[in-house]
Each structure stands twice: as C-alpha cells, then as structure tokens.
Amino acid sequence: MVEACPRTDITKIEYYGKKFTVQEVIDYSLLVGGYLCANGYAGGSVGVMLPNIPEAVFTLYGCSASGSVANLINPRIPTKKLKSLLLSTDTKVLFLYDALYPKHKDMLSSLGVKVVLCSPFYYRSDLKWLYALKSVGNRKNYFENVLTSGKCTPLSTDGKEAVAYIHSGGTTGEPKTVVLSSYALNSLAEAILTTVHPKKTYDAERDSMLMMLPIFHGFGLGVCAHTIACACRIVLEPRFLPSESVKMIKKYSVTHLAGVPAMYRKMLGVKALRDGRLRNVTNVFCGGDSLSSLVKERFDEALKSAGSTAEMVEGYGLSETASVVTVGRVGATKEHSQGQALKGNEIRIYKGATPLSAGEVGEILVSTPSLMSGYLGESQSDVVVDIDGKPFLKTGDLGYMDSDGYLFYLERQKRSIKIGAINIFPQEIERVCRELSEVVECCVARCYDKNNKPYVKLHLQLEDGIELNSLLESKIKRKIEQEIVRYAVPKEFCLEKEIKRTEMGKIDFNYYESLN
C-alpha cells in the first residue's frame, strides 16, 4: 500500500495562505473522530455537505479514524433530496456549510439530525471577520466546538470497512449510493502514484494539487483529496471559478491539475492563463466527461508557451471504482483515447458473455483493487461478474480497446441510438461539435418521428455574437457526416442560452430528451 509520509512537519493542506502540516491534519482529524465517539455517532453514517474547505478533509479522515462512514453530499441538492439521502443512509449528524442551514433547518430539525456548521471563513485570516458576521444559528453548533473534544484512538482494521458513500447514477443510470472501503481508496492511490510517478518523481514538499473538483465527486475524493494526501500538498479551492483557479496556480506554485473538460475550457477563457501561470505545472489530468480535441490542443499550447513540459492526459473511471481506472501517459497519448489501465487494473470488452477482440465495440468491464464494496443495501452480484477468477464490474459503458491496450470510451450503453441499423453514439457527435470554434457546449437528444423512428436533435450553446443560421447548421452537418457517418447528422437544431447540467456537473441529456 501507499507509504505514510515520512515527515510530519511539512505542509499537507494550504487554504488561502493558511497552512496545515501533516501532523496538524492528523491532530484535527483525530479531534473530529473524538467528537464522533464522545457523542455516539462513531460507527454510523456522518453527513459531509461541504465545499472544499479544511473541515471537509478533517471530517473525512475523522470518520475513518473513528470507524464511521463519510456520507459525501453535494451542497447544491434541494431539501427534499437531502432528506431522502439522510434517511436512506441513516445519518444522524451532518457537517453542513453554514450558509445552507436556513434553507434546510426545518427539515433537519424534524428528523432530529445533529448539525455541525462549518464556515469557509473560519480558517481564512484575510476574511476571518466574516466568520462572526455571517454566522447562523447557535455558535455552539459550529466546527470550532468540535475541536474541544479529545482525540480518538484510530481503529486498527483490515481496510475492508466502509469509509465513504458516494452518490452516483449507478452503472444502469438509476441513483445509487456507492460504498467505498479504505482498501479501495488506498489501492486507488497506490495505482495512480505507481503509474504516473513510477520512479517516485514527485516531491512531497514542492508538489501540489489544486483541488478544483468537489470532495463529494468520486474524482475529487479519490484523486484530488486522498491520492494527493498520500503524496504531496493539497491546495483547496472551495468553489471553482476560472479566474480564481488561474490565480491560485501561480500563487501557490501548483504542479498538478485535475478537472473535467468544462473546467479547462473555462480556464482557457482567462487571459492571465497565458502569462506564464502554468510554468510549474507538471501533470494535467482530465476526466468525467468527453474531452474535445480543441480543448486539449489549446491547453497543451498554453502549457508549452509557459515553458511547462506537461501535457493534458485523459482518463476513464467511475464512482464504483473510486474514480480512475485508466489514464494517458505523457508523450504516449492517442487522440480520443482514455489511455491504458493503471497498474493492477484490467480492462476487457464484452458483448453479452462473449469477449471481443481489439477494435470491436462492446461493454467495458473493469477489474480493479479499488472496486466498491457494493451499492448501499445491495450486493455486487448484479453488476460484478467472475471472469478467470477475478471480479469484473459491468460498467454499462460502450467502448473498445486497440491492440496496444488503449481504451476508447464511446457512450453509455443506454444512450446509444440505432439509426438505419447503425449504432450512433451521442457523445461522439458532441465531441465533434465541440471542436468547432463557434460551439461552447452541446447536447444530443434522441427524438422520434411520427413513424416512431429515432433521429438526432442537437441542442447548442454558441459563443457570444454567433447566430444559429443555415450556414452554421450546414457546417455542423458536413463535419459530422465526414467524421462520423451520415446517420449521425442531426435533423433538428435548437439554440440554448446555456446547456443544462446535472447535480454532478454532467450534461443533462435526460432533461433534453424529456422535452421531445
């Protein structure tokens, strides 16, 4: 497994200039664990509904130390959804972003859930005055009072116990709660570090990750938080703002970036990005959605112009595998590929019970030590199959492998469209469209004509000042026909002010399909 940091005096977390050493992170985490033990919450589900602030990290590891499960919840969800998650996970205590307390107060009171309020200003010396000014409810309910508890004694386990809940769409598209163990998260960290840094080329004191992705997101939890906590410094960004991210990269000498394509596209719109801000960056990871060639090319150009030798590499993963299972290697990427399997992972492509050869499209199956324990209240049996004595997750994703072992993800199985006996992959259409300079974002919706035959409708968000006219429609149609197939050409176009996204930040294709 991943080695513990040999020194406890080096900085592990940086938050707007406030630095926490390895020892301080351990101490604060054990104090949170002590609070959970002293108040009878240890061993149960502990809600963590926070942005990327120090309290979120302390609570995550405080749960682990006390044998509790960190129930990681998106702060943006509505009250009704929050109530459902708290009930389904039997959560009795919630570490909550204080600005949200008035919105959920009545519901939380009715359930008898204990609330620990956390402010993004508590550890900010430049804005500490806002902590007192913007406090809500009883000050005794704030995180600072948690720190008056004694430290807990960390549990000694085999690592198979549940340590985190991630709320996911599931491999079938139905909302599920993914149960991750300590073993799964530690295995992920080891696989990433030994694959990306096989000769341990990172420096625990110098290197750092800008944590733009939220901790409730599998990518944010598994890669930005835990993997980096095992290796180097985490620079916390509570809320992703492109201009703020670009500023922080330079200010905190950030060396590692991890984000989704939309984040990088927005950062490219910040002029300061090209002012040498990326000079110290050595690794750039992208996942969670389809990456357009245009975004990769432009970001790679920005890296090069700043004097960085880094290259944006794409990866593939799921919440069910604690996030990443494949990643591209710098200098050995292939266009539209999500790279090769991490060390210790294995990818296979199947059609039903039949294994497929290189280049053949089928369902992606994954075997990895970072596999979830199962969905809450369910076993793995419905989505995990035994192949050659190994457990393989049936991802519900379509793709293929080439002869070099590179994975090419195409689409969610349920989203593919068959037109004229040809399989059409909406994400492939979206990827091609995003390569046009006029297009900011897009979403393909499956529609049916009066004879119940499927066709493609394309919803478009365009750059400011660009009109959706017949010339642009013809340009899009021509590009799709040339690069994919004529059956993939949209029959309808619809201009959108902004493409709608889900709570997890992914394009909400279900919303657009429901309109038709």
Range of the domain at 44: 22-156
Choosing from 156, 189, 208, the residue where a domain stops is 156
Mean pLDDT is lowest, of 126-140, 163-177, 398-412, for 163-177
pLDDT of the residue at 100: 96
Angle between helices 261-268 and 242-251 (to 10 degrees): 80
Asked if residue 246 has pLDDT above 90, the reply is yes
Residue 496 belongs to a domain = yes
pLDDT of the residue at 380: 66
CATH code of 81's domain: 3.40.50.980
Better pLDDT: 502 or 348: 348
Query: Tell me: the pLDDT tens digits for 265-297?
Result: 999 999 999 888 999 999 999 998 888 888 999
Report, as an integer, the average pLDDT of 7-36. 95
Residues 101 and 135: beta-carbon distance below 8 Å: no
Query: Tell me: the pLDDT tens digits for 92-142?
Result: 999 999 999 999 999 999 999 999 999 999 999 888 888 888 888 778 899
User: What three-state secondary structure class fits 395?
Assistant: strand
pLDDT of the residue at 1: 38
Better pLDDT: 202 or 91: 91
Asked if residue 410 has pLDDT above 80, the reply is yes
Residue of 228, 287, 4 whose CA lies nearest to 236: 228
Report, as an integer, the average pLDDT of 23-42. 97
Residues 282 and 312: beta-carbon distance below 8 Å: no
**Percent of the chain predicted with pLDDT > 90:** 78
Query: Tell me: the pLDDT tens digits for 456-501?
Result: 999 999 999 999 999 999 999 999 999 998 999 999 999 999 999 8
Query: What does the alpha-carbon distance between residue 263 and residue 257 come to, in Å, rounded to a whole number?
Result: 11
Residue 58 belongs to a domain = yes
Report, as an integer, the average pLDDT of 321-331. 94
Report the predicted TM-score, pTM, of the whole model to 2 decimal places.
Answer: 0.88
pLDDT of the residue at 443: 95
pLDDT of the residue at 480: 95
Mean pLDDT value across the chain:
92
Residue 337 belongs to a domain = no
User: What three-state secondary structure class fits 501?
Assistant: strand
Residue 391 belongs to a domain = no
Query: What does the alpha-carbon distance between residue 26 and residue 247 come to, in Å, rounded to a whole number?
Result: 29
User: What three-state secondary structure class fits 282?
Assistant: coil
Residue 381 belongs to a domain = no
If pLDDT is split at 50, 70 and 90, which confidence band does 339 have? very high
pLDDT of the residue at 2: 45
Asked if residue 171 has pLDDT above 60, the reply is no
Count of CB atoms within 10 A of residue 510's CB?
A: 13
Exposed e or buried b for every residue in 208-229, given b needs 16+ CB within 10 A? bbbbbbbbbbbbbbbbbbbbbb
pLDDT of the residue at 382: 77
Choosing from 156, 181, 202, the residue where a domain stops is 156
Query: What does the alpha-carbon distance between residue 184 and residue 66 come to, in Å, rounded to a whole number?
Result: 18
Residue 480 belongs to a domain = yes
Quick one: DSSP state of residue 222? I
Asked if residue 172 has pLDDT above 60, the reply is no
Query: What does the alpha-carbon distance between residue 302 and residue 307 come to, in Å, rounded to a whole number?
Result: 9
Query: What does the alpha-carbon distance between residue 415 and residue 507 come to, in Å, rounded to a whole number?
Result: 13
Query: What does the alpha-carbon distance between residue 143 and residue 29 come to, in Å, rounded to a whole number?
Result: 12
Residue 147 belongs to a domain = yes
Cα 198 from chain centroid (whole Å): 24
Angle between helices 426-434 and 293-305 (to 10 degrees): 40
CATH code of 423's domain: 3.30.300.30
Q: How many domains does the chain have?
A: 2
The DSSP bridge partners found for residue 418 are: 423
Residue 43 belongs to a domain = yes
Residues 214 and 51: beta-carbon distance below 8 Å: yes
Mean pLDDT is lowest, of 56-60, 188-192, 467-471, 483-487, for 483-487
User: What three-state secondary structure class fits 383?
Assistant: coil
Choosing from 156, 179, 202, the residue where a domain stops is 156
Query: What does the alpha-carbon distance between residue 135 and residue 119 come to, in Å, rounded to a whole number?
Result: 8
